[in-house]
Amino acid sequence: MSNWAGWDWIAYGCLGIAAFGVAIGAIWKENPAMFENWPLVLSSPKWSFVPMALFILGTGIFISRAIFVHPDQTPSRPVPNEIVRYEIPAPAKIPTSLRLQFNAGNMVPTALNQTNIWRWFTLTTIIRGVDQKGDTHEQRMLTIFVIFDAPISLKQIVLDAGGAALPVYEVKDSGPRHAIITLENAISGVVLEIRAVV
């Protein structure tokens, strides 16, 4: 209804009044005593043709609008299953970095600063094994997933812990929008900066 034009309201109004007139006419025939006190003008038999005339008028408006209204004048409605195309911006030299504070224990690291980072998260994989003596050993491997906000012309991913020693790490995968880094062991009490060289 919010998209209706003036002619739509007129057409629906005609159909509504016509239906109301037909209902009044049916009541009039069954209970004429209810309308004895009405003015003589309203008791004229010509009123029985008004609902038909309004129905024809409303139908005519609908047909004429369907035929003659330009498509640009009709309300725009979303097309079901319409394919929406998005332009992906070209990779650019955008400063991109993420600084994470790793605390002791199994706490999630805290982001101290991030530039051109849309989302990040860390995953700790615990590997338990038993040696020949029956002793149990545990290793915690850390994986860091980083998604960039805008695509970058990435050359290299660099890790810096401010001079602190880091376990063996490897950039498993990287591209204009992401980087996946694995560390052989989990770290704690370290501020780790992940920086993209563009």
Whether 105 and 65 map to the same domain: the answer is no
Does residue 104 contact residue 133 with C-beta atoms inside 8 Å? no
CA–CA dist 88, 191 (Å, integer)? 33
Provide the pLDDT for residue 131.
86
Does residue 97 contact residue 196 with C-beta atoms inside 8 Å? yes
Provide the pLDDT for residue 128.
87
Task: Read off the pLDDT of each residue in 7-17 and give the average, rounded to a whole number.
Answer: 66
Provide the pLDDT for residue 64.
72
Whether 50 and 108 map to the same domain: the answer is no
CA-CA-CA-CA torsion for 86, 87, 91, 96, nearest 10 degrees? -40
Provide the pLDDT for residue 38.
62
Does residue 182 contact residue 170 with C-beta atoms inside 8 Å? yes
User: Would 79 be classed as within a structural domain?
Assistant: no
What are the residues facing 170 on neighbouring strands?
A: 182
Whether 186 and 143 map to the same domain: the answer is yes
The 3-state DSSP class for residue 165 equals: coil
User: Would 50 be classed as within a structural domain?
Assistant: yes
Does residue 122 contact residue 169 with C-beta atoms inside 8 Å? no
Q: Which of 75-79, 92-96, 194-198 has the lowest mean pLDDT?
A: 75-79
* pTM beyond 0.85: no
User: Would 88 be classed as within a structural domain?
Assistant: no
User: Would 82 be classed as within a structural domain?
Assistant: no
Whether 150 and 184 map to the same domain: the answer is yes
Provide the pLDDT for residue 88.
79
> Percent of the chain at pLDDT above 90?
40
CA–CA dist 136, 83 (Å, integer)? 55
Does residue 115 contact residue 96 with C-beta atoms inside 8 Å? yes
Task: Read off the pLDDT of each residue in 10-34 and give the average, rounded to a whole number.
Answer: 65
Q: Which of 53-62, 68-77, 100-109, 140-149 ranks highest by mean pLDDT? A: 140-149
Provide the pLDDT for residue 97.
97
Whether 144 and 68 map to the same domain: the answer is no
Does residue 109 contact residue 189 with C-beta atoms inside 8 Å? no
Whether 31 and 123 map to the same domain: the answer is no
User: At residue 73, what is the residue type?
Assistant: Q
User: Would 80 be classed as within a structural domain?
Assistant: no
| pLDDT band per the 50, 70, 90 thresholds, residue 40 | low
Whether 139 and 191 map to the same domain: the answer is yes
Higher pLDDT, 1 or 103: 103
CA–CA dist 9, 15 (Å, integer)? 10
| pLDDT band per the 50, 70, 90 thresholds, residue 146 | very high
169-188 tens-digit pLDDT: 999 999 999 999 999 998 98
User: Would 154 be classed as within a structural domain?
Assistant: yes
Whether 109 and 168 map to the same domain: the answer is yes
CA–CA dist 194, 198 (Å, integer)? 13
Whether 134 and 43 map to the same domain: the answer is no
Provide the pLDDT for residue 137.
87
Whether 192 shows a pLDDT value over 90: the answer reads: yes
The parent domain of residue 112 ranges over 96-197
User: Would 13 be classed as within a structural domain?
Assistant: yes
Tally the domains of the chain: 2
Q: Cite the beta strand spans of the chain per DSSP E.
A: 96-102, 110-115, 117-130, 136-148, 156-160, 169-175, 178-183, 190-197
50-91 tens-digit pLDDT: 666 766 776 776 677 666 655 555 555 556 677 777 787 899
Residue 183's CB is within 10 A of a number of other CB atoms, namely 20
